[in-house]
Chain A
Amino acid sequence: MTYQIELDRVEKHYGRFHALKEISLAIPKGQFVALVGPSGCGKSTLLRSIAGLERITSGTLRIAGEPVDDLPPRKRDLAMVFQSYALYPHMSVRDNLTYALRLKGVSRAERARRAEEVAAVIGLETLLDRRPRELSGGQRQRVAMGRAIIRQPRAFLFDEPLSNLDAALRVRMRKEVRALHDRIGATSVYVTHDQIEAMTMADHVVVLQAGRIEQQGTPVALYDRPANRFVAGFIGSPAMNFIPGVIAGDGRAVRLALPGNPMLETTIAGTPGLQVEVGIRPEHMVLGSPDAPDALPLVVNAVETTGAASYLFTEGEPELIVTTEGTATIRAGDTIGVSVDPARVHLFEPETGASLRSASL
Chain B
Amino acid sequence: MTRILRSLRDGIGFDVLLVIIALSYLLVFAGLPLIYNVIISFQTVDVFSLGTLWHPNAGFDNYRAIFDDPLAGRVLWQTIVFTLGSVALQFTFGFALALFFHQNFTGATWIRGLFLAAWVMPGLVVGVLWNWLLSGDFGVINHLLESLGLIEDPVFWRSNVETSLYAVLIANIWYGTPFNMILLAVGLAAIPGDLYEAAELDGANAFQRFWTITLPMMRATIGAVLALGIIFTLQQFDLFAAITQGGPAGSSTVAQYWSWQLSFREFDFGRGAVISVLMIIVVLFVSLIYVRSTKAETQL
Residues on A close to B: CB < 8 A? Answer: 51-53, 72-74, 76, 78-80, 82, 84, 86-90, 99-100, 103-104, 133, 147, 151
User: What are the residues of chain A within 8 A of B199 when measuring CB–CB?
Assistant: 88, 99
For residue B200, which residues in chain A have a CB less than 8 angstroms away from its CB?
A: 52-53, 72-74
Q: Which of B2-10, B87-95, B175-183, B211-219 contacts A (4 or more CB under 8 A)?
A: B211-219
Q: Shortest distance in angstroms between A90's beta carbon and chain B's nearest beta carbon?
A: 4
Q: Which of B197, B204, B208 contacts A86 (CB 8 A)?
A: B197
Q: Nearest Cβ distance between residue B152 and chain A, in whole angstroms?
A: 49
Checking B198, B203, B208, B300 against A82 with a beta-carbon cut-off of 8 angstroms, the contacting residue is B198
B201→A79 contact, CB < 8 A:
yes
Q: A88–B211 Cα gap in the complex (Å)?
A: 13
| A104: chain B residues within 8 A (beta carbon) | 203
User: When each residue 179-212 of chain B gets 1 if its CB lies under 8 Å from chain A and 0 otherwise, what string results?
Assistant: 0000000000000101101111111110010001
Quick check: B201 and A80 within 8 Å, CB to CB? yes
Say whether B202 contacts A100, CB under 8 Å.
yes
A100 cross-chain contacts in B, Cβ below 8 A: 202-203
Contact in complex: A82, B194 (CB < 8 Å): yes
- A338 to chain B: closest CB distance in Å? 49
User: What are some 27 contacts across the A-B interface (CB < 8 A)?
Assistant: A53-B201, A72-B200, A73-B200, A74-B200, A74-B202, A74-B205, A76-B201, A79-B201, A80-B198, A80-B201, A82-B197, A86-B192, A86-B195, A86-B197, A88-B198, A88-B199, A90-B216, A90-B217, A90-B219, A90-B300, A99-B199, A99-B202, A99-B204, A103-B203, A103-B204, A147-B202, A151-B202
A157: nearest residue on chain B (CB-CB)?
Answer: B201
Of B192, B202, B212, which is in contact with the most chain A CB atoms at under 10 Å from its CB? Answer: B202
Kindly state the separation between the CA atoms of A133 and B204 in the bound complex, as whole angstroms: 23
Closest to A150 in B: B202
User: A51's closest neighbor in chain B, by CB?
Assistant: B201
Cα of A84 to Cα of B196 in the assembled complex, Å? 13
A86–B194 touching, CB < 8 Å: yes
Give chain B interface residues in 212-234, CB to chain A under 8 Å.
212-213, 216-217, 219
Which among B197, B202, B212 is the interface contact of A53 at CB below 8 angstroms? Answer: B197
Instruction: Please indicate the chain A residues that have their CB under 8 angstroms from the CB of B217 in the complex.
Output: 89-90
Q: How far is the CA of A88 from the CA of B217 in the complex (A)?
A: 9
Out of A72, A82, A99, A133, which one reaches B212, CB within 8 Å?
A99
Taking a contact as CB atoms under 8 Å apart, the answer to whether B197 and A103 are in contact is no
Do B194 and A103 touch across chains, with their CB atoms under 8 A apart? no
CA A74 to CA B206, docked complex, whole Å: 10
A151 proximity list for chain B (CB < 8 A): 202
For the complex, give the distance between the alpha carbons of A99 and B209 in Å.
Answer: 11
Instruction: Give the residues in chain B near A53, CB-CB below 8 Å.
Output: 197, 200-201
Of B203, B212, B219, which is in contact with the most chain A CB atoms at under 10 Å from its CB? B203
CA separation between A361 and B201, bound complex, in Å?
45
Docked complex Cα distance between A78 and B203 (Å): 9
From A79, A84, A88, A147, residue with most partner B Cβ within 10 Å: A88
